[in-house]
Structure 1
């Protein structure tokens, strides 16, 4: 079988390196980019924000080994990160990298961003008036009333969305009202990944990963996370809808507001990260297209390169074997 060929005669099948926070995805992505001749596309929602560097463990320019990175530092902290906007920018970046005969290395752990990109999520239209109407119900009558309204109009959606998730309940009601179809009809279905992307999962032993999270949390605070957050407050962090909720940033904001002491902010950052890791594991492990690797294995890079070569040698849709 032959390798899928890019427009310049080189294999350009993308690789996505996904999995829990703090497993070492960034280092693996850099190694892959060096070996394959590639560029990196970020798929971590909080790394989209300019100035959110320490708390997101964003690689410094020096740490990027001269490899081009895309979808980093594209939003101000006052802007709202959305799956739809990310999807548009990331698709353009991957297509551009492939057009230049290079291999896109997509790396990160933002769960819905991963699914939207590789399952070609089609985003229903929005209507500010319709959304405002349901947000008004949420504000006046509470999340229970919104959940009850969705249960009446789309019982299946109401059964799958947490009854406390007001934002998602409002979105589901908006979609149902605008499309006249169940909310599930607009959700991505898992099939062959876009661009036949090779999906690589990396994880570690739970006790080891907890130690890495603790070390990483301590380093963030020691390296100046409090100062970073204070500086971002001056740039509008408190007004942002998504940036201020990031793990670490939310806890430091509480500390700056006098609602907790620094030790408590550190502890809550560690606990919040560890909980997020459990959610990531649960989400990604449900996707049977992902082949999992032990991030601590000395042969990790070679294993992933072999997975990519094996997949890239398969005929693409419509190609002869």
Structure 2
């Protein structure tokens, strides 16, 4: 087991994750790894509240600005590159501090999740067969080859039936073998969640949106539009940018765009909170206005978590030796 833990700072938008992550990286001699899907995009700075370089306090940040807005983010690619970044950080004797609110990306990085391969030609063939014989008939084929997967997929869910058959034919394994499990990929992982009372969070969201507009969100969106933002299936739908594009197109007023951005962010916060609250491994911290006090509380939790990891690793090692002695 690597002696350096992976410290993850998670939670909803506008809770103050980035500031805490930088402070923890300072205290733990660490480097930050981004786990916000939209902050992967180069140039999407104001609308994603990306921490400016002059506020990073000299702390290296990884997986920021790695995609053009016309490229599509891939969870499996992110998993591979983020884990490589963590390995490199540890190789330098430093502590990885993961920060973000994109639940699927967080889970892909931290949990024991394997992404099965894809084959566009095979998928097209299966989709054509589904169109020709109907989803229920294709589901019966799945039940014959992968009864476990079929039991969990509806007979009319064409997309999942096709995907399960595709995975089975490509790997020879059950589709269910690739379902995510709530088990850390690295046992030395400590998850910290930030929360704020909902009324205070809504006030912070409103302030954040106003500051984004004042900082030049409309100009940033105009520049990104020239780079192909409107052609992106993902980036153009990002909260704030979608509304700014509507303003530039003349289909929404600035005041309506601000209101829509605030409402969309509040909906996102509810989804993020629901996602992360399902994970009992997260230790929740109340994020007040005193960053130093919050940092101290987080460091205390990291210290306890590190001790638990060391104890668990030692117990596992002793158990292994005991088994070897018994065999001898």
TM-score tier, shorter chain, comes to 0.7 to 0.9
| Equivalent residues of 2:6, 2:188 under 8 A apart | yes
| Equivalent residues of 1:22, 1:212 under 8 A apart | yes
Give distance in 2, aligned partners of 1:229 and 1:169: 39
Give distance in 2, aligned partners of 1:58 and 1:263: 23
Give the structure 1 partner of residue 303 of structure 2.
309
> What are the equivalent positions in structure 2 for 1:290-309 lying under 5 Å apart?
290-296=282-288, 298=290, 299-309=293-303
> What are the equivalent positions in structure 2 for 1:53-202 lying under 5 Å apart?
53-133=45-125, 153=142, 157-158=152-153, 171=163, 174-175=166-167, 178-179=170-171, 183-202=175-194
Segment drifting more, 294-303 vs 83-92: 294-303
Gaps of 5+ in 1: none
TM-score by length of 1: 0.85
Give the structure 1 partner of residue 220 of structure 2.
228
Once the two structures are superposed, residues 153-205 of structure 1 have per-residue CA deviations (whole angstroms, 9 ceiling, x without a partner) of: 5555546x9x8xx9878756643564566544312101245252101111100
Shift of 1:129: 1.3
Q: Please state which structure has a larger fraction of its residues in helix.
A: 2
* SS of residue matched to 1:194: coil
Give distance in 1, aligned partners of 2:58 and 2:304: 28
Gaps of 5+ in 2: 143-148, 320-328
Once the two structures are superposed, residues 207-260 of structure 1 have per-residue CA deviations (whole angstroms, 9 ceiling, x without a partner) of: 000111111111111111111111011111122222112111112222222222
For the structure 1 residues 236 and 128, does the alpha-carbon distance in structure 2 shift closer, same or farther, using more than 3 Å as the test?
same
For the structure 1 residues 150 and 54, does the alpha-carbon distance in structure 2 shift closer, same or farther, using more than 3 Å as the test?
farther
Of 12, 17, 36 in structure 1, the residue corresponding to residue 4 of structure 2 is 12
Of 238, 261, 270 in structure 2, the residue corresponding to residue 278 of structure 1 is 270
Question: Does 1:269 find its partner at 2:261?
Answer: yes
Give distance in 2, aligned partners of 1:148 and 1:235: 45
Shift of 1:113: 0.6
Segment drifting more, 17-26 vs 244-253: 244-253
Superposed CA RMSD in Å reads 2.9
Aligned residue-pair number = 305
Of 17, 23, 29 in structure 1, the residue corresponding to residue 15 of structure 2 is 23
| Equivalent residues of 1:49, 1:73 under 8 A apart | yes
Shift of 1:303: 1.4
| Equivalent residues of 1:201, 1:292 under 8 A apart | yes
Of 242, 245, 262 in structure 2, the residue corresponding to residue 253 of structure 1 is 245
* SS of residue matched to 1:288: coil
| Equivalent residues of 1:150, 1:173 under 8 A apart | no
Question: Does 1:43 find its partner at 2:35?
Answer: yes
Larger Cα-atom Rg: 2
Give distance in 1, aligned partners of 2:59 and 2:242: 31
Of 232, 250, 264 in structure 2, the residue corresponding to residue 240 of structure 1 is 232
